[in-house]
Amino acid sequence: MRTRSLLKYSLGGLVGAAVPALIITGTAFADDTDPLAAVEDLGHQTNLLWVVIGAVLVIFMQAGFAMVETGFTQKKNAAHVMST
Same structural domain, 24 and 60? no
* Amino acid 83: pLDDT: 78
* Amino acid 27: pLDDT: 57
> Measured between alpha carbons, how far is residue 29 from residues 20, 38, 44 in Å?
15, 14, 22
* Amino acid 30: pLDDT: 61
Same structural domain, 81 and 48? yes
Count CB neighbours of 78 within 10 A.
Answer: 13
* Cα Dmax for the chain: 64
Question: Which residue range(s) make up the domain with 24?
Answer: 1-32
pTM of the model: 0.47
Instruction: Identify the DSSP state of 30.
Output: T
Total domain count for the chain?
2
Segment-wise mean pLDDT, segments of 10 residues, the chain, 84 residues:
68 74 64 72 87 96 89 85 77
